[in-house]
Amino acid sequence: MKSVKDLGDLQGKRVVIRCDFNVPLDGDTITDDGRIKAALPTLTELRDAGARTVVLAHLGRPKGAPDPKYSLAPVAKRLGELLGTQVALASDVVGDSAKQTVAALGDGDICLLENVRFEPGEASKVDSEREELAAKYAEFGDVYVSDGFGVVHRKQASVYEIAKLLPSAGGTLVKKEAEIFTKVLENPERPFVVVLGGAKVADKLAVIENLLKTADTLVIGGGMAYTFLKAQGHEVGESLLDQDNVETCKGYLEEAKASGKKIVLPVDVRVADGMDFGARTVNGDVEVVAADAIPADKMGLDIGPESEKLFADTIRQAKTVVWNGPMGVFEIEALAGGTAAVATALTEVDGLSVVGGGDSAAAVRTLGHDDSEFGHISTGGGASLEFLEGKVLPGIDILEGN
Eight-class DSSP state of 392? P
Is 47 assigned to a binding site?
no
Instruction: Using alpha carbons, list the distances in angstroms from residue 321 to 92, 130, 192, 277, 312.
Output: 42, 38, 6, 29, 11
Contact 311, 221 (CB under 8 A): yes
- Which H or E element spans position 268? strand 268-272
DSSP reduced 3-state for 236: coil
**Is 115 assigned to a binding site?**
no
- Do 86 and 80 contact (CB within 8 A), yes or no? yes
Task: Tell me: is residue 8 an annotated ligand-binding position.
Answer: no
Q: Say whether 222 counts as a known binding-site residue.
A: no
Instruction: Please confirm, yes or no, whether 250 is among the known catalytic residues.
Output: no
Nearest to 346 by CA among 318, 326, 367: 318
Residue 14 assigned ligand-binding role: no
Bridge partners (DSSP) of residue 88 are 111
HSE on the CB side for 375, CA within 13 Å?
23
Ligand-binding site membership of 35 (annotated): yes
Residue 176 designated active-site: no
Do the annotations mark residue 141 as ligand-binding?
no
Residue 58 marked as a ligand binder:
yes
Q: What is the DSSP letter of 21?
A: -
124 is in an annotated binding site: no
> Residue 357: CB partners within 8 Å, gap ≥ 6?
150, 324, 377, 378, 379, 380, 381, 382, 383, 384
Compute how many other C-beta atoms are within 10 angstroms of the C-beta atom of residue 18.
29
For residue 360, say whether it is annotated as part of any ligand binding site: yes
**Is 60 annotated to bind ligand?**
yes
Say whether 154 counts as a known binding-site residue: yes
- The reply, when asked if residue 117 is annotated as ligand binding, is yes
Does 369 belong to an annotated binding site? Answer: no
**Which one is catalytic: 13, 14, 35, 130?**
35
The catalytic residue among 183, 200, 261, 262 is 200
Contact 356, 196 (CB under 8 A): no
- Catalytic-residue membership of 382: yes
Residue 277: how many other CB atoms lie within 10 Å:
10
Q: Dihedral of CA 224/226/229/230: which sign? A: negative
* C-alpha span between 10 and 108 (Å, rounded): 10
The residue type found at 326 is: P
φ, ψ dihedrals at 144, nearest 5°: -130, 140
358 marked as binding residue: yes
205: annotated binding-site residue?
Answer: no
Q: 77: how many CB neighbours lie within 10 A of its CB?
A: 14
Is 260 among the residues known to form the active site? no
Q: What is the DSSP string of 151-198?
A: GTTS--TTTTGGGGTS-EEE-HHHHHHHHHHHHHHHS--SSEEEEE-S
CA dist., res. 226 & res. 232, Å (int): 10
Q: Is 61 annotated as a binding residue?
A: yes
CB atoms within 10 A of CB 36: 23
Q: Binding site for ATP: what residues are annotated?
A: 204, 300, 331, 357-360
Q: Binding site: what residues are annotated?
A: 20-22, 35, 58-61, 117, 154, 204, 300, 331, 357-360
Q: Binding site for substrate: what residues are annotated?
A: 20-22, 35, 58-61, 117, 154
The residues carrying an active-site annotation are 35, 200, 358, 382
